[in-house]
Every structure is written in structure tokens, then in C-alpha cells.
Amino acid sequence: MKVRELIDGFDEIQLNSEPPDFSIHAILSDSRLCREKDIFCLYETEPDKSVRYIQNAYENGTRIFLIPEDYSIDLPTQSLTLLRSKISPRYLHGFLSSKLCGHPSHDLSIFAVTGTNGKTSTTSLLYHTYQIAGIPSGLIGTISIHFRNEKISSQYTTPDPWELQSTLKRMKEEGIKAVFLEASSHGLKLHRLNGIELDGALFTNLTPDHRDFHPTFEDYFESKFHLFHLLSQSSKKNKLAVLSKDSPGGNEMLSGIRKENFDFKTFTLGSDMDSYRIKNLRLSLDGSEFDLESPDASSKLSVNTSLLGEFNSLNLSLSMILLQNLGFSKSQLEAWIPKLSPIEGRFQLVYPASRDRVGIVDYAHTPDALENILSTIQKIPHSRLITVFGCGGDRDKKKRPEMGAIAQKYSDVTIITSDNPRTEDPLMIIQDIMKGIDPDHKNCIQIPDRREAIVRAVKILPENGFLLVAGKGHENYQILGTERIHFSDYEELSKAFLANNE
């Protein structure tokens, strides 16, 4: 597709000259990746950065630039094709990428999940259910991008518009029928999902997070709520939304949907008679059992799963509500649910050879997620609970004391350590966390080295004790300064158990 055909219908874009007579290869926002037949989409207009990005793209051979209408470019313009936009190039990036990729979402069933916690678990459960059902499907999210036999790493939970649209294009070409993707607040606020025609949207919960990015909680809420605007704007038929009504933010999200009078069906999971309801919940280290009752109480889905924890029961229920209303039968779902495997880094169990104590690796890195998993563990009989965790550097500082208080509230021993300190001093991050700990620092240990913290925790873990290592989950790296080094909580905990048995 050539430039004129690409921008046809985009009245916001004006051409400065006759464009080159070649087909466009990609529309990129990372100047380092740009090449001769690409369009560079300029997001950043801060002078020092934008000049550097433009120069990078130019030196890499790019001669076509999508820029704001009033942006002054310091290059010989006679050799360039400038696409000047009256609105943000960032906003248009997804729509243009979709068009260049042949609008792949038109031919795929696409379901997006948003919420502070539970996005990865919920999308993974949906993806794996479709796999069990024999329906070719794709998964786009925090851990990676999956389809067919491919597993591709992604820089963001919700990829940037070109990566997202080109991935959907590949999925379509590979015969994929349905895609489940995580819609992060960053991805929604930064318009990465523009150009995607959605079939459904799910909401898990909303608690304070990313306060380094969202200036207010209202901004965070509106970013998440934008997913339902996108669903309403979709041209797909039989669209539906599923919300966890009783979870934090659920009622507010539902009220917003009703106020907007969106044109899609809405189903809720909650405790009232208008919602699907979880009944007879039984939790153990072997898994969970419960009944998922329909709003009119006319049917019950009997759930028996190896997934652990009350929060996983919520995530699984949201998934099953969606699938039931997509036409899957009760008997199909009841047969498939036991085949669903635990998700990497989410309440992942690690045992020593003696199996007389339990290690748990979990991605919990927000106050709400940490409290959810700790409160779940407390409901299972145990002798002692030890928690090892830290907080990320160069990120939301307000949550640090909150997480310290939560860890101490539920744990017999709390070991505070490092978790991707990045360019911050690990000791200063630990001191921020300690502000939420009781002044006497009772049963609280500070060990900056994460490996040493895990080893120490294993050494003091008694028989029938639980050890939670929280924050990294599936991650296999630790970020020190600007360098990533290999580090896996699962591997380190396994090695510590093995060494302790020798």
C-alpha cells in the first residue's frame, strides 16, 4: 500500500509533497527500528528528544514522517514526505497500522481484559480453554505473545500499535480464530488499541497502581473505562462485557456503562440476584471447588480446578461467564475446566523433596494483589507464613509503605528485599517500604540481595510452613541500574530448598 492510498480517508492528515512511489513496509514509533520504506510516527514533541528521534530515523533511511501539524522539522524538507496531522500522531497510529495490515481484527474474534490485577490469569484461562476446545487462538499479554507454536516476547503488556496490528495480521494469516489480549491502562491511555474491532471486554478490579504515570485515580479509572468506549465503537455484532461487580471499582465501572447506554450486553459476577454468583467455595492446596450460579438460579456450573486461591476463582468465573454467553455448553465447560493448568508465576507452588513445607511464587506487585494472596494463604492451615518481597525502582513510590504494612499484617516474618531497583538505591527503596512497618520492626528482616533473602527464608521456614516470594512471578530477570541480569524466583526458591535438604 502506497502513501496516498494509506492516508485516503484520513482528513486530519495533509501531504507536503508528492510521496515516493513505493509500498509502505511499516509505521513505527521507535526511530531505532526505522528503515527506508517505513513511516516514522513522532509521538514526542519535546525539542531535545524529538530532534534526536527524527535524526535517528533519517539516518536509518526513513524519509516519510507523520508529525503534528505545527511541528518544525530541522531537515532538508525537499527530500522528505511530511504527513502533517491536525490531531495527535499517536492517536492515528493504530488506525493507520490497522489499514496497512488489512484490518486484521475484522476477521478475528477479539476479547480484551482490563483491571489492576488478574489480566494475565484471565486471558490465559480463556486462551487455554480455546486450545482445549480445538479452536485456533492467540494470546497477547504480559508474559508473551502466543499463537500456534510460536512464543514471542513483547516489551509492553499491550504492544504498541504497529506491533499489535502486525501480530494480529500474522495470526489471521496463520488461521487463528480468536485472540485474547491484556488491555493495560498505559495501552488504553496511549491509544495502542485504536483500530481494533473488539468482540468483548472483561473487567477484573481496580485499585491504586501506576501512580507514577496516572496523575490521579480518576485518570487511572478513565483509562481503564476507555476499553468500554472502544467496545461500543466496534462494528462487531453481539458484543458483550463481563465485569466483576463486587471487586474494587466494579460498581463504578458498571454505573459508567449504564450511564453511557452503550450498545453491548453486560454480564456481572457478584453477590446480588442480577449477577452470576460463586457458591460453596472450597479452597485447598490441591485446588478450588465451587458452583457458578446463573443470575436466575436456573443453572449451576460445577467447577473443579487445580487453580489456587479465591482471586483465581474470580478470574476463572469471569472467563466462564464470557464463554457461556458465547455459546459454549455447561457440559463442555465442566469437562474442560479440570484440564486448565496453573499459570506460570501465579500462585505457583514449589516443594522441597520432603514436601513438608510449601513455597509459593507469585507476581503480586501491588498492594491489592499482595493482600489477596496473603489473605488466601491465611485461610489454609499452616504453622508459619514468611513473606519475601520488594518494590520496583523508578516506579510508584506511594505503594511501598502500603505493601510493607500489608506484608507485616498477614505474615509471621517479613523479609524485605530488592525487586528490579533499576536506577534507585535498593536500600532507599527498602527504607520507603519500612515506613509502613511497625516502629519496633517486629519480625521484619531487611536483606537487599534477593537471592540471599530467599535462602534465609528457606532456612527459617518450619515444617508445615508457607513461604511466599512475591513480586516477580514469571519474570526471569532482575533490573539493576539499566542492566538486566538473569534471575528467577522459581529457580532460586527451588535451589534453596534443594540446598537446605543436603
Residues 213-257: tens digit of each pLDDT:
999 999 999 999 999 999 999 999 999 999 999 999 999 999 999
CATH no. for 3-89: 3.40.1390.10
Mean pLDDT of the chain: 95
Which residues in the chain are classed under CATH 3.40.1390.10? 3-89
- DSSP secondary structure of 302-349: EEEES--SHHHHHHHHHHHHHHHHTT--HHHHHHHGGGPPPPTTSSEE
What's the pTM?
A: 0.90
Query: CATH 3.90.190.20: which residues of the chain?
Result: 348-501
pLDDT, mean of residues 272-277:
96
In 367-406, which positions are buried (b, 16+ CB within 10 angstroms) versus exposed (e)? bbbbbbbbebbeeeebebbbbbbbbbbebbbebbbbbbbb
Which amino acid, 117? N
pLDDT in tens, 320-364: 999 999 999 999 999 999 999 988 999 999 999 999 999 999 999
The reported pLDDT for the residue numbered 72 is: 87
**All CATH 3.40.1190.10 domain ranges in the chain, comma separated:** 101-271+312-328
pLDDT tens digits for range 392-415? 999 999 999 999 999 999 999 999
Burial class of residue 486 in the structure, from the number of CB atoms within 10 Å of its CB (0-12 exposed, 13-18 middle, 19+ buried) = exposed
Cβ(36)–Cβ(63) below 8 Å: yes
Q: How confident is the model at residue 44 (pLDDT cuts 50, 70, 90)?
A: confident
What is the structure's pLDDT at 502?
Answer: 60
- pLDDT score of 221: 96
Mean pLDDT along residues 83-87: 96
Name the residue among 491, 412, 411 with its Cα closest to residue 450. 491
- Please state which architecture CATH assigns to domain 101-271+312-328: 3-Layer(aba) Sandwich (3.40)
Question: What pLDDT does 332 receive?
Answer: 98
* pLDDT confidence band for 442 (50 / 70 / 90): confident
Query: Is the confidence at residue 140, as pLDDT, over 80?
Result: yes
Where residue 149 falls among pLDDT bands split at 50, 70, 90? confident
Q: Look up the CATH number of domain 348-501.
A: 3.90.190.20
- CA dist 89 and 53 (Å) reads 14
